[in-house]
Amino acid sequence: MHLLEAENRSVGLEYGEPITIGDNIWIGEGAMILVGVVLGGNAVVGPGSVVTKSFGDNVIVANQRTS
């Protein structure tokens, strides 16, 4: 995670959190899964999606088309 305070960033204070991906997941091209997210089994992540929160089993996660 990148810190918001410039003073902390400049001294290299950052931290990470794991991403947990269940069994039988399909992740589309260009998808981003952010730190700390847990995806359950049998999920589908659509191409180009940005996953910012966790989801359980048997879900489809995709960004809404705007065009």
Q: How far apart are CA 14 and CA 36, in angstroms?
A: 14
Choose the catalytic residue: 1, 2, 17, 65: 2
49 tagged catalytic: no
| Catalytic residue list | 2
